[in-house]
A and B are shown apart, each in its own frame.
Chain A
Amino acid sequence: MNQKSICLYFQVHQPTRLRLYRFFDIGKDSHYYDDFANRTVIRRTVQDCYLPMNAILLDLLKTHKGKLKLAFSISGSTLELFERYAPEVIDSFKALADTGWVEFLCETYYHSLASVASQAEFKHQVLKQKDKIEQLFGVKPVTFRNTELIYSDSIGAAVYDMGFKTMLTEGAKQVLGWRSPNYVYSCASQPKLNLLMRNYSLSDDIAVRFSNTSWDVWPLTAEKYVEWLRGAEGEIVNLFMDYEAFGLLHPAGSGIFDFMRALPAWVLADGSMQFVTPAQAVKNLKCVGPVEVEDAISWSTVESDMSVYLGNELQQDAFNKLYDLTEKLSILNDPVLWADFGHLQESANFYDMSTQFFSDGAARKYVNQYETPYEAFINYMNILSDFIIRVNDAMAVRDER
């Protein structure tokens, strides 16, 4: 009997925070970022999570000599923040890449929602990210994960056209129905694209619930968890999670690092399981059939949909106003404007405008710098207004020539 595959993938992303931008700044000051907050947050995250966790993983990879495999995706905009404020983190990720047992995935450079807005901008950011990963880690990514695992049939087809064979997404109930996420599926409109569906229950046991002392099975041990993995029916268990869970969401004192140190040995000792990277998984396993996904799904919110990003009229208007500029940006092809355009597309900007948290009081994914979604919207629109002026001015200059 084949061994069950365990596919570990960690998402590394920190939004580039926008500064408090007043109406009075429009047309006068085009620096949009809160450099101090960005530096502070990056430094803290690096110290509490990225560096210690990378060290643990490097150690484990060396100990298990090829038996442990895993995958990372690091957004381009976060890599920029690392280069600026914490270059040592890039070296530690390089060390992981050099072992040869870590796959680096591709995504949108700015961790954006471009895939649901504009084909051209989506492609532009994917190719930019691909170059960045290749340049830093020396490997060409072959697997794609979209921002927040956003996926639909048409996005899948576009991703395949850009040269990817595999894509990661959420094992959303509304698309899988009775089916299990623990198999390899394919895209309904492009059968050659393989889909790996996140096992949200087992993923969130680590990523969300680990440090929750009122959880009835707390504390979670590697032994107990391996039991659950063994019990999961199917061929592959996809454990996809935010890397910040280790040391930030679950602080060191919760025992999360010890848990991760112990886990690989327990999994391997069991004998019925092996670690795989996403690229290997689709080589080893046969696709069992297509999944139809008409409306985009994601790993955010309980509903696994896009509502937390584009659910209210504020988000929709801001989003439409932003992507109305896509064509002008391509015509201008100006690196400075491209960069700001990219950062304005970061998904956190729209996440901050969500009114869902008003009603359910759910935990937010990022530390939100705004007291209300309305403040987030006002600030964002002020910045966007300035940006629109710059784009139109540049167009006017271009037309004169």
Chain B
Amino acid sequence: MKVLMFGWEFPPHIAGGLGTACEGIVKGLAYNGVETLFVMPSASGDEDQSATTILNASDVEVRNVSSTVEEFIDRTQYLYVDSNLVPYVDPEEYFSAIEEMKRNRTLQTTVGFGQKFKFSGKYGASLMEEVTRYAQVGGTIAMQYADRFDVIHAHDWLTYLAGIAAKELTGKPLVVHVHATSYDRGDEKHIDTRVLDIETRGMQAADRVVTVSDLTRNIVINRYHIDPAKVVTVHNAVDFSGRENLQVERGVKDKVVTFLGRITFQKGPEYFIEAAAKVLKRTEGVRFVMAGSGDMMNRAIRQVARLGISDRFHFTGFLRGADVQKMFALSDVYIMPSVSEPFGISPLEAMRTGVPSIISHQSGAAEVLKYAFKVDFWDVDAMADDIYALLQYPVLSEFAVKKGYDEVNALKWNNATAKLKKVYESLI
């Protein structure tokens, strides 16, 4: 069994969780005897290719374009937008992307046939244009390698057009993998309709739609109106191999309750702050940390100041690499109060580090984590109760730590991808 896989990023150079998930998937598939050809817009050459063969779209010449592709290009042509509404943007990158966009206004040239297109592979301002070009290159690759794969697998909307092109040109079955939807990214009024359109087309063209949770599966069925029969949930897993738990000396004697993630509407930061204020009214010796950055950060800071808890509620700004591990190691309770979270890998990371986690029912992770504490994102009283209990009753937190550690270690990509393999098999 061979799969042509379209991704957007791959470790070590990643901005979001998508790249990490893709790495877990190709490794798990290799374990299950499935070979993958992984196409990405901009490979750096230092990706781990032990489990897959990586094809760099930036190296592919677009030529011998058949009439189908021309039609395809005509339909999707030049979606260049200078929109600031780009999903999945890491905030640091967002600002530099805007700056770059301003500088390079005139640099948006069309690439003729027989030329290579240099992809940034980032989530920047010319994202829509890159997505369209990636589809052209994807079609070219699919034809070149037509005899070397049985199934096409496309990860998230960024690669759906490439998946559709590959399917149209080769006639092979298409699986699209939904890691997130437009409905998770913002409230309904601010949904980017261009993204929504690509998502819908991808799901409609696909022979199977794989979702990372039942929560996402329901969104795909109810909001995108996709036939339930072709939508399958394959829960995410996480690869902890080679991970040593960091030993960090604590500076503060107090217990630490941590929120780690983008500070955006979707992640529910304001509920965390409200719960923190409630806990601080009842108990001493606890500090709250909001690690990350995002468009709601300044609002969050003002909320903290207004509640008068800023000596006990800290902001770290955007954390990367080892600092993320360090933050987990310093925490006593982890909290993910997401309003809408397709899966949410961070509580798994926390529990693996020995930190009991409170997560919202509105997250995909809640479907697989028995030993995480679960509350509705809006129920700040319940959230405060759980935080208080985990801080005050050592027995409870020891139990949650131990059970949680075992639980997340059992969530393996090898098992998840076995399910994925069955999906492929049903298509050939």
Contacts and interface: CB of A to CB of B under 8 A. Distances in A.
Interface of A: 22-29, 312-314, 316-318, 320-321, 372, 374-375, 377-378, 381-382, 384-386, 388-389
Contacts of A22: 316
Given A27-B253, A374-B298, A382 B314 contact: yes
Contacts of B389: none
Contacts of A24: 251, 316, 323, 326, 330
Interface string B290-308: 0100000110011011101
Given A23-B316, A372-B298, A317 B308 contact: yes
Contacts of A312: 302, 305
B310 A27 contact: no
A378 B317 contact: yes
Where chain A touches its partner, the secondary structure class is helix
Nearest to B317: A378
Given A22-B316, A28-B251, A378-B301, 18 more contacts: A24-B251, A24-B330, A26-B251, A26-B252, A27-B251, A312-B305, A313-B305, A313-B306, A314-B301, A314-B302, A317-B306, A318-B305, A320-B308, A372-B298, A378-B317, A381-B311, A382-B314, A389-B253
A313 B302 contact: yes
27 contacts: A23-B316, A24-B251, A24-B323, A26-B251, A26-B314, A27-B251, A27-B253, A28-B251, A312-B302, A313-B302, A314-B302, A314-B305, A317-B304, A317-B308, A318-B305, A321-B310, A321-B311, A374-B298, A377-B310, A378-B301, A378-B317, A381-B310, A381-B311, A381-B314, A384-B311, A385-B314, A389-B253
Contact of B305 (A375, A377, A384): A377
Where chain B touches its partner, the secondary structure class is mixed
A23 B314 contact: yes
A146 B110 CA distance: 64
B150 to A, nearest CB: 50
Contacts of B315: 23, 378
Lowest 10 CB-CB distances: which A-B pairs, in order? A27-B251, A28-B251, A317-B305, A27-B252, A313-B305, A314-B305, A321-B311, A23-B316, A378-B315, A313-B306
B250 interface: yes
Nearest to B307: A317
Contacts of A389: 252-253
B289 interface: yes
Interface centre among A372, A375, A381, A386, by most B CB within 10 Å? Answer: A381
A314 B298 CA distance: 11
Contacts of B314: 23, 26, 378, 381-382, 385
A364 B252 CA distance: 36
A24 B251 CA distance: 7
A378 B249 CA distance: 22
A378 B317 CA distance: 9
A374 B304 CA distance: 11
A115 B334 CA distance: 42
Contacts of A318: 305, 310
Contacts of B312: 385
B252 A316 contact: no
Nearest to B330: A24
Contacts of B326: 24
Contacts of B287: 385
A317 B309 CA distance: 8
Given A27-B252, A378-B317, A385 B311 contact: yes
A24 B289 CA distance: 11
B301 A377 contact: yes
A318 to B, nearest CB: 7
A25 B251 contact: yes
Nearest to B250: A27
A285 to B, nearest CB: 46
Nearest to A387: B311
Contacts of B323: 24
Nearest to A318: B310
Contacts of B298: 372, 374
Interface string B379-416: 00000000000000000000000000000000000000
A374 B300 CA distance: 10
A318 B304 CA distance: 11
Interface centre among A25, A29, A317, A382, by most B CB within 10 Å? Answer: A317
A389 B315 CA distance: 17
B302 A388 contact: no
A53 B198 CA distance: 67
A122 B269 CA distance: 39
A312 B303 CA distance: 12
B297 A374 contact: yes
Interface in B24-64: none
A321 B301 CA distance: 15
A26 B249 CA distance: 12
Contacts of A28: 249, 251
Interface in B257-313: 287, 289, 291, 297-298, 301-302, 304-306, 308, 310-312
Nearest to A384: B311
A23 B311 contact: no
A207 B301 CA distance: 35
A384 B313 CA distance: 12
B272 to A, nearest CB: 16
A178 B252 CA distance: 57
A318 B301 CA distance: 12
Contacts of B301: 314, 374, 377-378
B200 to A, nearest CB: 38
A26 B306 CA distance: 23
Contacts of A25: 251
